[in-house]
Each structure stands twice: as structure tokens, then as C-alpha cells.
Amino acid sequence: MSQIEFQILSPSEESLILLIANWYHEEWKIPLDKILLKLQSVVNDESQIQLLMTIDSIPVATGGIYHHVGLLDVVPRFKEYKHWLGLVYTIPSMRQKGYGALLCEHLESIARDRKIPELYLFSDSAVNLYKRLGWMEMEVVPYGSRLVTVMRRSLLG
């Protein structure tokens, strides 16, 4: 039986931060210097989270809860929403096995424990996954060359 573990990254875990930055760079072409700065600011801020999922001590997935996501630069009215689930990534060999959903559920649990009343996200590729997990569609907006769905998940009650 495989052992699945979750770890909130801390600033001292530089090799794991670099690994995640490389994943994001490869998947979404986010410039390495830009994503490293973001990850370092997140792990140095206790009100944000970068979560790493390992299976038998091997890193396989990551994601976080952030105060700022790229969409806010394009659609500033969304800045009223303070907690964004984002940058959910699973290594290609482990996709379609439920690990992304497990990671999201764990992030939601941490947010609940921290008394965060609701989370927001945007996606163009995993909308059905998030609907299955209980997220509600708010609206569809243009983001670069894509149309993304902004979603909300209430954590209280």
C-alpha cells in the first residue's frame, strides 16, 4: 500500500521549491524567476499555503492557496476575493488517478481549519473536476487567449 503524505512547504525547503517551480515552468511556461519569487513569497507568508503531495516520499503533486493569482491583474474586480486555490499540478505519469482531487480536498481542509470561509479558483481545463468536488461556477471571463471559468467553494456550514 502506497503512503500518501501532504506537506506545507516552508522557506528552508529550497530544493522542493525549485522542483515545483520547474514543474510550473514546464507545464505553463511561467518564467522561472517569476514563479520562484511567487513561491518564496508564499512560503514566507503563513496566511498562504504551498502544499506538496508525496507518494512513498516521491513528490507527485502540488497546489496552493494564494492571495494573488494572475487573473487579478486582468480582471481587477476579483481582487475582493482573498483566497484563491491555484496552480494545481500533478506530474504527467500520475494524472487521471484522482491525486489532483485529493490534493484539492486537502487544501480545502486546511483552509477550513484556518477558518477561511470560502475559496475561489479559475480554470479552463478542470472545470468538471471542480464541479464534482462541489465548486460552483460564477462566470466565464477572457484570460489571455483563453476563456476561464471562475468558481467559488463555500467552506462553512
Q: What ranges do the domains of the chain cover?
A: 4-154
- CA 74, CA 58: separation in Å to the nearest integer? 36
Selected from 1.10.3210.10, 3.40.50.460, 1.10.3720.10, 3.40.630.30, the CATH number assigned to the domain covering 4-154 reads 3.40.630.30
Residue 156 is predicted with a pLDDT of 84
Determine if the pTM surpasses 0.85.
Answer: yes
Q: Which residues pair with 67 in a beta bridge?
A: none
Cα–Cα distances in angstroms (integers) from residue 145 to residues 77, 148, 150, in the given order:
20, 10, 16
First-last CA distance in the chain? 34
| C-alpha cell belonging to residue 58 | 516521491
Residue 157 is predicted with a pLDDT of 67
Residue 1 is predicted with a pLDDT of 87
Residue 143 is predicted with a pLDDT of 94
* pLDDT mean for each 10 residues of the chain (157 residues): 96 98 96 97 97 98 97 96 97 96 97 97 94 97 95 91
- CA 154, CA 119: separation in Å to the nearest integer? 7
